[in-house]
Structure 1
Amino acid sequence: MASSPPCPTYPGAAPQPGLPPRSGGALRHAHWWQRPWVRYGAPAVLLALSGLVILALVREQTGTEGFLVGLGLAVLPVPLLMAAFRWLDRVEPGPWRNLLFSFAWGACAAALMAIVANSFATRWIARATADPAGADTLGATVIAPVVEETAKAAAVLLVFLFRRRDFTGILDGVVIAGVTATGFAFTENILYLGTAFGADQLTGDSGIASVTAATFFVRIVMSPFAHPLFTVFTGIGFGISALSPQRQRARRVLLPLAGLLLAMGMHALWNGSSTLGDYGFLAVYLAFMVPMFGMLTWLVVWTRQRELRTVRTELPAYAVAGWLLPAEPFALGSMRARRVARRYARRYGGKEVARAVAQYEAYATSLAFLRRRGRLGRAGTDFVERERELLLELWRRREAARPALDHAARTTAPPVPVAVPPWPVHGMPGAHGMHEVHGTHGVHGVQGTRGTHGPQGYGQPQPHPYPPYQPNPYRF
C-alpha cells in the first residue's frame, strides 16, 4: 500500500489521510431538536400531513373524476423539468433528499399555504369592498404572487440554512428553487385542469373547443416553465448570497430579498396579463416571458461551464501536492470525460465501482469549490475540517476511480497538431504538413496507469506515482 502524500502547508491544510476523522462525540451532547430523527422526521411528518390536506382540498374542488384527469395531464411536464434541473446539477450533484424535499414542499406545503391564504384574502377583500370581481383580480395580481413566491422561497431558505454544505453557489439555488416551483406547479395544474374538466362536464363541451383543452394548452404546452422561471430569481439571490463573504452580512440578507421581490414582480406581471385580453397575454408572453426564459437559460448554462473551469483551475494544486494524479483535473473538469469514466467503470468494475467513481467526481468538485472560496477569502470557519473530510473521501475511493479517470483523460484529450519536417525521415511517409496525434496530450508523465482498453487496474494493486512535493505551492 502506498503511503499517503504530504499535505499542502498553506493555512488550513488538511491532515494526512491515514488519520481518522474527528470524533463525533459532540453529537451525543446535542439538544433533542438536533438529533437526526428529529431533523428528518419532523419535516417528513409535516409534508405528509400537508399532502393529505391538499389532496382532500383539491379533490373536493374538482371531484374524483376531475382530480384523476387533472393528475394525468399535470404530470406530463414534470419529468422534463426535473431532468433539466438535474442536468444543471450534474457538475456538483446534490443529494437526492434535497430534491425530494424541495419537490414535496412545493407540491404539498407551499400549495396548501397558497390555497388557504389566497382564498382567505380574496374573500376578505370581496366582503370589505363588496366587489367580488375586483377582489378576484386583486387576488390574482397582488395577493397570489406575494403568497405563492413566499411559500416557495421557504423551501430554498430551509435548504440554505440547514443544508449549507450542499448550497454553495448559483446553480444550487437555481436547482432547489426550480424543483420547488415544479412541485408547486404540479399541484396547481391538477386543480386548474380538474376544475376545467368539471366545467366541461356541466356544459357538455369536448375536444379542442373545451375549457380543458384551452387550459392544457396555456399551462402545459405554452408555459410549463412559468413557476420555475419566477422562483429561480429567488434561488439566484440565495446562490449569490452563498458566494458572498461572511463579513458582508447586509449583502447576504438583501440579495435573497431582492431575488424574492423580483420573483413576485414577474409573477404579478404574468398573472396581470390575463386581464389584458388575448392580445395582452400574447404580448407579455412573447415580449417578456420568452426573452427572460432565454436569458436565464443562457445564464445557468454559462454558470455551469464556469464551474467546470473552476474545477480545472483549482484541482491542480492538489495534484502538485500528490493527492491527485496529474490527469485527474482535466478529466474532472470535463462532463464528457466524467461520463466516459463512469461508463468504463461500470463496464469493467460493475455498478459499485461506477458509483464510487461518481462519488469521487462529486467530492473532487466540492473540493475545488471549497478551495476557490478559501482563496478568495470567502471560506467559513469550518474550512479546515471540510477540506479534511473531502480529501479523506477521495483517498478512500482512489483505487476505484483512478483507472477510470485515467482512461477518460486519455480518450477525451484534444488532438495535438504535430509538424512534419520537410526533409525525408527514415520510416516516415513523405507527406508534408500537419498531423494530429490523439490520446496522450495532457497526461504525459502519469506512470503506472492502465491503457485505454480493457479492464486493467480493477482489483489489482495500483502504483501511485506522485510528483515531487513542493512545500507551500499555493497560498490563500
Structure 2
Amino acid sequence: MHAAAPVPALESDQPDFGAVPERSKWRYKPRKAFWRSRLVRAGVVIAALAICALAILAIVRKETGTEGFLVGLALAVLPVPLLLAAFRWLDRVEPAPWKNLLFALAWGAFASTLIAIFANSFAVKWISSVTADPGSAESLGATVVAPVVEETAKGAAILLLFLFRRGSFTGPVDGLVYAGFTATGFAFTENILYLGHAFGEDQEFGAEGLGSVTVATFFARVIMSPFAHPLFTSLTGLGLGFVALLPAGARFRRTRLWLLPTAGLLLAMGLHALWNGSATFHPLAFVLVYGMFMVPVFGLLTWLAIWSRQKELRTISGELPAYATAGWLAHDEPLALSSMRARSMARGYAARTFGKPGSRAVGEYEAFATTLAFLRHRARRGQVAPDFAAREQELLHHLWQRRRVASPALTYAARATGRVWVPPQYLDYGGYNPYRG
C-alpha cells in the first residue's frame, strides 16, 4: 500500500486554476500522424464492425430464410434490453463510456459470431474428414470446439478494451459489464440463427405460425437461459478486472498478469463446454447441470457483482473526506456520494429547485467526484499516473464550477437519507433557539 499524493490546499474562496489552461490556449500542440487520429481510428473500427454485421446477417438470413430470419430477429431481441439494463444498473457508480459499451455489444453481435461460425464450421468439417463419423464430429464441435472458439472470440473484445481503453477499465465491475454487453450481443445473433432454424422446421411439418419447435427453442434459450453466454464470458471479464486492481509493486505481479485472465478464460471455456455437453448428450443431464452448476454460479457472480459495486461506494466514502477536510467539498458530501439513493435524491432536489440544468449539473458533479475518488485510490495503491496532479486539478476545477448547485443538493440528500446526523433546528442557528419563548 502506498501513500496517496497530498490534496491541494484550498487557500482562497476562488482558487487559481492557471495550471489547467483551456485546450484552445495550449501553446504546444504535437502533430499526429494521419493514422493516429481518433477520428480515423474510430472510422476504421466502425467500418470493420459494419462489414462484419453485413456478412453475419447475410449468412444467417441465408441459413434461415427471410421469414425465419425475421421471426428469429423479433424473438431474439426480447431479452436484450433487460440484460443490458441489468449490466448498466451494475455500472451506475462509475458508468463506462457508451462508446465502449456499444463497441462491446457490436463486437459480440457481429465480429465474434462471424469468427465463431467460420471457425466452428471448419473444425467440424476437418474432424468429420479425419474420423469419417459426422455424428461424433458434431458432438465434438459442440462440446469442445465451440466453447474454445466462442469464448476466445468474445474475450478478444474485453482484451481490446483493457489494452486501449485502460482509463475506463479499473476493476471487476468494468470487466463484468464489458463481458455482459459482449456476450449479450453474441447471444442475440446466435438466437436469431437457432430460432430461425426452429421456425423453418415447424414450417416443413406444416405448422401455422409459431410451432412447437420454435416455442420449445424460445423457452430453452430466451426464458430459461438468457444469462448463459453472459455468465460464461463474465469469468473472462473478472480475470482482466482483477488484473486492473494489481498495484505496481505487487508480489508476483508479472505472473498474475498472465495467470488471472488465462484462468478466467479457461473457466469460461470449461463452464461453456459443460453446458453444451449437457444439452447434447441427455435431457436429464441438461437439468442437472442447470440446477447444480449454472444457477449456483450465477448466484455467486451476482453476489460478487453487488459486492464489487458496494466496494466502489466504500472507496468513495474513504477517499473523498480528504478533499472535504481541505475545503473542496462540504463535509456531508462524501457520505451522500457513496449512496446511490442519496445521489438520486440530490438530482431530484436540484431538478425541483433549478430545473433540468440543475439536475444535469449535479449528475456531472457526482461523476467527476467519483472519478476523483478512484484516481486517488489508484494512487494510494501505487498506480500513480504521470499526469496525476494535472488530472486531479482538472477534476477539482470541474467540481468547483458546479459546486454552487451540487453542494446544497448533496447536503440535503445526505440528511434526508440518514447518512449524517441531523442536529436539532436551534443548533443550526449557532446556539440561538427561535422556538424558545
The TM-score, its normalising length taken from structure 1, stands at: 0.82
| Residue aligning to 1:462 | none
1:25–1:194: structure 2 CA closer, same or farther, 3 Å change rule?
Answer: farther
Residue 362 (1) aligns with residue 367 (2): yes
| Residue aligning to 1:58 | 60
Counterpart Cα distance in 2 of 1:129 and 1:26: 66
How many angstroms does 1:356 deviate by?
A: 2.0
The 5 A counterparts of 1:114-133 are 114-133=116-135
The answer to whether the Cα contact below 8 Å between 1:14 and 1:385 also exists between their aligned partners in 2 is no
Moved more, 258-267 or 241-250: 241-250
| Residue aligning to 1:272 | 277
How many angstroms does 1:302 deviate by?
A: 1.1
Q: Deviations over 1:427-475 (max 9, x none)?
A: xxxxxxxxxxxx459xx9899xxxxxxxxxxxxxxxxxxxxxxxxxxxx
Q: Deviations over 1:6-54 (max 9, x none)?
A: xxx9746559652252666776323333211122111111111111111
The answer to whether the Cα contact below 8 Å between 1:326 and 1:446 also exists between their aligned partners in 2 is no
Counterpart Cα distance in 1 of 2:128 and 2:171: 43
Of 21, 26, 29 in structure 1, the residue corresponding to residue 31 of structure 2 is 29
Counterpart Cα distance in 1 of 2:30 and 2:199: 55
Counterpart Cα distance in 2 of 1:26 and 1:215: 61
The answer to whether the Cα contact below 8 Å between 1:61 and 1:191 also exists between their aligned partners in 2 is yes
How many angstroms does 1:284 deviate by?
A: 0.4
| Residue aligning to 1:260 | 265
- Answer 1 or 2: which has greater helix percent: 2
Q: Helix, strand or coil: the match of 2:329?
A: coil
Counterpart Cα distance in 2 of 1:10 and 1:154: 34
Q: Helix, strand or coil: the match of 2:182?
A: helix
How many angstroms does 1:358 deviate by?
A: 1.2
The TM-score, its normalising length taken from structure 2, stands at: 0.89
Counterpart Cα distance in 2 of 1:378 and 1:196: 52
| Residue aligning to 1:285 | 290
| Residue aligning to 2:12 | none
1:280–1:446: structure 2 CA closer, same or farther, 3 Å change rule?
Answer: farther
Counterpart Cα distance in 2 of 1:230 and 1:39: 30
1:192–1:27: structure 2 CA closer, same or farther, 3 Å change rule?
Answer: farther
The answer to whether the Cα contact below 8 Å between 1:246 and 1:380 also exists between their aligned partners in 2 is no
The answer to whether the Cα contact below 8 Å between 2:320 and 2:373 also exists between their aligned partners in 1 is yes
Counterpart Cα distance in 2 of 1:221 and 1:379: 46
Report the AA paired with residue 242 of structure 2. I
Counterpart Cα distance in 2 of 1:85 and 1:17: 40
| Residue aligning to 1:48 | 50
Report the AA paired with residue 88 of structure 1. L
The 5 A counterparts of 1:131-142 are 131-142=133-144
The 5 A counterparts of 1:25-424 are 28-205=30-207, 210-247=212-249, 248-414=253-419
The 5 A counterparts of 1:3-14 are 11=5, 13=7
Q: Helix, strand or coil: the match of 1:381?
A: coil
Counterpart Cα distance in 1 of 2:168 and 2:190: 28
Counterpart Cα distance in 2 of 1:351 and 1:218: 44
Q: Deviations over 1:311-359 (max 9, x none)?
A: 1111000101111111110110011000001112222222232222112
Structure 2 stretches of 5 or more lacking a match? 10-14, 431-437
CA RMSD of the aligned region, Å? 2.3
Percent identity for Structure 1 against Structure 2:
60
| Residue aligning to 2:434 | none
Counterpart Cα distance in 2 of 1:127 and 1:26: 63
Q: Deviations over 1:246-305 (max 9, x none)?
A: 352332232112111111111111111112311111000001100110111011111111
Structure 1 stretches of 5 or more lacking a match? 1-8, 417-438, 448-476
Counterpart Cα distance in 1 of 2:74 and 2:101: 22
